[in-house]
Structure 1
Amino acid sequence: MRLHRMTVTAFGPFAGTQRVDFDALSQGGLFLLHGATGAGKTSVLDAVCYALYGGVPGSRQSRGRAWLRSDHAPPGTATEVVLELTVAGRRLELTRRPEQPRPKRRGSGTTVEKAVTLLREWDPAGDQWQARSRSHQEIGEEIGTLLGMSREQFCQVVLLPQGDFARFLRAGAEERAALLGRLFDTGRFAALERRLAELRGSAQSAVRAGDEHLLALAHRMREAVHEQQDTGPEDALPAFPECAPGEVGLPEAVLAWAAQAREYAAQRLAVGAEAVGFAGQRHESAQRVRLERARRAEHRRACAQLVARTEELRRAEPERERARQRLGLARAAEQIAPAHALRERAAADHRAALHREAVARGELPAELAECSAAQLAERRQRTGERLGELHGARRAEERGVQIGRELDRLDAEVRGSEASLADAESWLVRWPALREDAQRRLDAAYGAATAAEQLAARQEQVGARLEAARLRDGLGREVEAARERALSAREEAVGAQERWLDRRDRRLRGIAAELAAQLASGEPCTVCGSRDHPLPARPTEGQVDSAQEEAALAESRRAEQRREQRERELTEVRRRQERAAADAADGHAGALAAEFSAVAEELGAARRTAGTAPMVREELGRAEGEYERRLAAGRELGGRIASLTAEREALLAERDGLRREVDRLRDGEETVAATARRLEALAERLGEAAEAAREAAGTAQRGKEADAALADAAWKAGFDSPRSAFVAALDAAGQRGLQRALDSWQAEEQALAEAFADPEMRAAAEDPYSDPEAELAEAEQALAAARSALRAAETAHALARSRCLALARLGSQATAGARKSAPGRERADLVVGLAGLAAGTSVDNSRRMRLESYVLAARLEQVAAAASDRLRRMSDGRFELVHSDERVGRGARSGLGLHVVDSWSGRERDTGTLSGGETFFASLALALGLADVVAQEAGGTRLDTLFIDEGFGSLDEQTLDEVLDVLDTLRERDRSVGIVSHVPDLRMRIPAQLEVLKRRDGSRLRHRGTADG
């Protein structure tokens, strides 16, 4: 990388535009950058870094972009840095403008202008600059790729800050690791360490989880085995494995113990099966004995019950006789039942009639309650005649009510008509304003239509320019591609022509052999005419004949045709680009797009406004129609209100006449209808009372007749009175109950006789001295004991079988778990070993160095070797730097030691023991060595321009000469070194200088000892 020129405007302390010609400064190899404190020496280096990376070095970057702009710059001057450099064989020009405020183009105040980044490349063939990109991201990626280093690395290896390297010499291992890690990007190794640690943790967790699962299964198996412990000898139980999760050999121990537990459970299952068989036999025998004795006891109990029941039947014989007599009297009393029922119905009818008569008379007025049936009927007739007189009055009253409803309707219509009339009059008052507003909007729509036509024409013009600008920009890329194709075709044509000329030259050099091949013995030579050919020329290696020459000529002509075609294509694309540029009228695509969007927005607004014209015209037409309608409606409503008022007055007069007629017949009631309803209710109650009185007299006569018929029926049935017949009577249910009791006694006597005829029953009755109940109790006790023993044996056997199944299932799970965890355990062993080796904790890592430290140690060893070459020259062969990988105690990082070897004393000591001057040239040597190593690490990018910042004031004259000699070696390698220093002696030793002048209105730059100076 070599810097050529740089221009800074309104940047840092520089108010105006300042230029730096690095080519002129670098002619002597060394140049000096000096100036007063605070003048802006560091700002020159900041500008270089900002142009390349869009940021400044170190902590100054954290102060924000606003710091980049000069406080002395006028508001209209934009902050800008332009840097021209050569990197990777390409000459580039970088232009950067940060985000900054600028005055508004219209009105007062400021607006924020976005950051701008431009990249151009010099085209030697076209002898002009070619634009490459305007994207911040693309330019940043391309510059990073070409330089091969980040902004931090660039600031460390190109802008060499001596103070940082002096601290590096005296720093501890951790600080050195931080700096080297940033420069050599060893973060991937630290990430690898962390990843291995994470994998180790996850692998160990997985192993522990698998072991915990196996131990949980083992504990469940132990619980199953211990539940059987009381059924077998205690010494037969296997010893439970005592292992911790993650312990070596745990799966094997658990599986071995599970196999022993299953064998023990199988033995207990066999013992339980034998016990179940023995207990079953005992239970069957006890059941047979119990059944036999239960049958004998049942016969003895049945015999005793039969004897007792026979005695009970004998004692109940008088009761059976009384039941037979009672049943005979009840059947005789059934003969008077119809007469009794007739008499009961007559009594019930008489009671109901008396109740109805009392209720009907209770509803009558007090003066009518004691009247006879005939008197009540007469009063009922007179009430009916009065109701006839009220019929006409009720029609008059109903007409009055109808007239009231019609009056309410007329009042509502009058109010509605008056409201409609008021609404129409109110609208007619607003009509002039409505018409004026609609006319105004219609005029605005017509004006917008005219403006829309003008804006459409303007949009078409701007759109054409925008399309031309976009075509121009797109054709720029096509021009570049066509230029590349033309250049390639040109190179191919030149190459093809060179190959043809080469073949032609080789054929001419071997033409003698070609002519000799045409000679024939005795035939004259076409060149000399001789018929003798003593020594004809022979073809040499790589001989070219005419066919090969013609083929090369044809290929050259085709290549030339392709070149001419590519040239024509390039000319055509350039012509199209020029036409597009002329059509675009030098307009920027972005600005034209913004203008096109603004015009389109205005055009859309104008068209929307113009589009309202039909709607406004229609609205105005509807409003005019509404005006005519409301005017006519107002006139019609006035006439209707007058008509309704006249009709209302006529109805009021009719209603007054009807009211006088109705008031005469109301008889104190509120309405005639109420009077009629009262008389109707009275007539109805009078009729009901007269009817109830007649019915009560009739039911009394029918009761007397029923009493006589009942007495006659009782005498005929053999009873002295109806009362004695009633006492003997039974209902059907009672008679059925007596008959069932008699039938039951007879059936029970027959059943007892049949039971006594059974031989077993007779045998039980003939053996009164045995005790079947005691024998049965003894048999039941023996059966209960056998059943309990069988149930216990079956329970133990079922438990043993379930435990065997559980152990088999758990054992299968344990085997599957051990098999599943085996690969994870192997992987965990491998990952743990790798993580320990990378972390420096493994016994295999003899240096106890972490992986990142190991890589950084190798880089530091390269840096120390590269720095020692320069340090020996600076110190006149006295000092050299060496890397130390000695182990450091107390947990510090090992492998990043840096020592200095003093050849005068022959001892190796720490770099912290160097004096101030020694520290300077040691740090300078370290910086230069680090620059070489980092550049090599970054892809071998050659750094042709370096800057060294401060530190020369601590050197004596002799040491300063030695340091400058070392820097001269850089010049010998075609490098240029810029020294940033205040040391006055350097101004005498280095003729090429860039001076920074501090002034009140902003700093200035001045070249000395160059063509510009």
Structure 2
Amino acid sequence: MKILAIRLENLTSLAGSQELDFTAAPLRDAGLFAITGSTGAGKSTLLDALCLALYGNTPRLRGARQDQARVPDSGDTDVTSFDPRTLLRRGTSQGHAEVDFLGRDGRRYRARWAVRRARGKPNGRLQGAEQSLTDLDDDRLLTAQKNEFKDLLPERLGLNFDQFTRAVMLAQSEFAAFLKADDNARSELLEKLTDTAEYSQLSIAAFQRAKAANQAVAELNTHLADDLPAEPEARAELERSVDAAERELDARLQEAKRLEARQQWHSADERLNAAYQEGRQQQQEAESRWQALDPARADQEWRRLIAPKRHRLARQAELPSEINRLEKALANTRKAREDAQAAQQSAAQEHAKAQQALTAASQARKDAEPALRQAREQAQRRDSLAQRLADIETSHEQYQRQANQIDEAQRKAEAQQQEHRRRRDEWQAKLRELMGEHSQLSDARQAAQQAHDRASKRQLSLSTLHSRWQEHLQAVDTQQSLVKRLESDEARKAQLMEKGKAARQRLDERHQHYTSVQAFIERSRAVRSESVIKLREQLQEDEPCPVCGGQDHPWRHQPPETPEAAQLAAQQADEDRQLSEAQSDWEQAQQARDELLGQYRALESSLEQQRRDLQAAEQRLTSAQKALAEQPLSAELDAIDAAEREAWLSQQRQQNDSDRQHHEQALEALTRAETELAPLQEALRQDELTLTQLDTQRKSVETELQALSERLPPLKQERDEVARELNQRLGEHDSADAWQQQLDNRQANAQQALNSALAALHEAERRQGELTQQERHEAAQLKRLEEERAPLERELQEWRQANPALDDDTLARLLAQPEDEAHRQERDIREAEQALQRSDASLNERRQALLAHRRGQALVDETGAEDNDSVSDDRLSDGLLNNALLSDDTETEIQQRKAKLADELTELAPKRESAQQHRDDAVHALRDDDRRRARQQAAQAELDAARAEQQRWGRISALIGSADGKAFRRIAQAYNLELLLDHANAHLHNLAPRYRLRRGGSPLGLLVEDHDMADEQRSVHSLSGGETFLVSLALALGLASMASGELAIESLFIDEGFGSLDPQSLALAMEALDGLQAQGRRVGVISHIQEMHERIPVQIQVNPLGNGASRLTLVGD
């Protein structure tokens, strides 16, 4: 994997489009290059652009807390503070990051990340980021979808985001802290560096599972104790209560069933009686309706008589009205024919007048044609002259506006020129003030740079001195703290030994007790197996068992197959409980002994580690004192009282930092003055050129205005003369077209009047013909009707004389009666007759049903009715019985019986409810005990399973569990440390063959073997600054090798980590970096150290331009 180029646009402080091509000189030939610039200029933005293009995120943003505040964006919108789109430079509408790289397959690819704002406006809303991947060798777009990009890029590059940030962007500064940390902090750092937090999570999870298992066992024991079933005697009493309650409830239910049957009879009687009364009412209504239809039945007979003559009678009634109508129509038609004849004559006269008017209009149009042609020619000439005048006036106005604009531009240009001169004079004065006694700007800049470098060098020395002083103080504090802790843990060890002896004694006692209880139970069971048969023979009914106390003896008549089974069934529970309690006591004692033993072993291991730590602390104290004495400024520090050294160091660093900032500000002021003056000089030259151009334009415009003013007067005079002649020719008309339009309208109106008169004449002639024909037709129809009326009158007079009962009113009413009304009367008669028949049948059916229901209920003396001597006919006897069953006395008897039944039901209801409640309570109590017994069995099984889970998780937690996760983390990170040291030593051998790293001193301790000193093992705290850099760099390269696997990484970036190195250590670090580039790698170093800038010829300088913008500049030999 190799980075070939980085391109970016408008990312934070790097404004505009910028590019770094590692395939072109000078970066192509440089194995080592530096990225330099002042703080905040944008050096780290280069690495952000690299990660953005490849992964759409950066380590700084991914490491931010996800619950941080939101950042305001355009308008009323905001975005999260860890959103990569916030890297887009403010005031720009779009930006991107682009990286060309050599993939794991040897092909060249281009990854691109871009973001823009809505509508391309700087204040638009941020849009979603876009990502794309292109194969440069084939010039083929592989994907432009973000989800596909996330899967495809790691496949082509060979590294995911976490691997890339560990393998390409080396965490050298984190490993410097890693070297100085204790075991716990080192395991946390190693976990973070290797991204293996799952081991801590497993350790915490094991601890939590063991804790949860213990809690589950405790809760189940509590639950079993709180939910015990009933004793055998209480259980038998519950069963007897259920039997008695069920017998009582059955009796009450039988009685209720009998009463409900009687109640159902009364309900049925009410229903049948209501149906019988309803039938009587329906029969009476049907009879009344039948009688009400007597007049309709009379009309029905007359309609049958009239039916043969109905048509002739209807025709007799129609003829007078038809004859009268035709007489009136004939008179109207004659009057209309006469009016049409008069209209025809008038239309002929109008036609003749219209013909004369058309002839006169056509002649006037022809006579005016020559004058019209001359008027049009004059109007065209006038309009042409007016258009030429308008064009000249428009051009005159345009040139005048242009002249005004030039005047305004000249005034603005002169004002701008004065402003530029004023600013130039101000900056020249500032520059002379900044240069001071120096006559040349380069001399002033060089002096300020030298002063800044001296301050920076002293600041570096002060920082190193302060660091060594802090290490010395920390070494003293650590040594004293370890002594106190060692004394405390020695005392605690003595206490644990006393507690361990007591726990061992208690364990032996509990084990002996458990063994004796187990032996006693085994002997007791052997004895009971011989005497159990004799005890069973002595059992008596309803007498308690001498062994278990139970009243029920199921094995008295049916003994079990073996005596041992009976004995176990009688006393197994009590023996198991005793044995379980003894075993539980033994296990608790053993657990207590094991816990104390674990605490003792852990404390012993801790004491051993503390002794080693104390020895190492004393060595570190000696090394710190030696390192402090070697510092260049140690003599100044020794002259200060020990209590005031920290304040002195702080004051010196603040003073020196203030001096350095002062010199840096002077440099920036010189650069800014020079930067400001150059564009002002150019602006003044441009202002002079602009004024010259504007003067030339002004003269040209004035010449054009003079020429246009001379052409206007003769054209206006000619236009006025042509207009006067045209007005005389047109007279009262506005224009030739209006004159011609008037003549054309007159001719058209005359033609239209002629056409209208001709159409009216034709219409009058047609109307007269139609009315004449209609008059003849109506006269013929009237004659035919007169001839039909006489014989019809004679025929119907004879029929009326044959039926004298039919009066005129009835005949007229029946003839006028609509046919649908007659049909309705016929239907009503049929329906009334059918309804009367149905009501009679229904009433008889309902009466018989009610009688059948009441017979046999002892409502009347049925025997007396049958034996009545005064009635000999059986049919008459049945009638008397039926009348009695339907009498009012019977109704009274039924109501009395119904009231009595209601009283009996009311009395029975509370008794049945009481019996039901009694039975339900007894059954509920019995079922509740059944549920408790079932829950006891289930809970016991659950408790056994929980105890098994408790033992399993207890053993696991004892091995790897801890509340903070450090138990398993240390075990796992010890393995990771071993693997890391293997990779780091391989790199350390290439960087500095003299040294080798190994584990030692503690589970996660680190030692350095010095091959030049007979493999002497040294503490990492004794390393010098340069040695520390070498070791931390080797560890960082080792982590990179772990992350990348077999993938060859040819591009590396190291961000800072050189600030604390003295010149000798810095030289050693540079040798290590030269060794990396000698291995074929391109290494980029981000640093503020001037000495490194001087030693690395190829540099990417990030130069501030002002207003928060910076520019990348390549510097190389």
Same fold (TM over 0.5): no
Higher CA-based Rg: 1
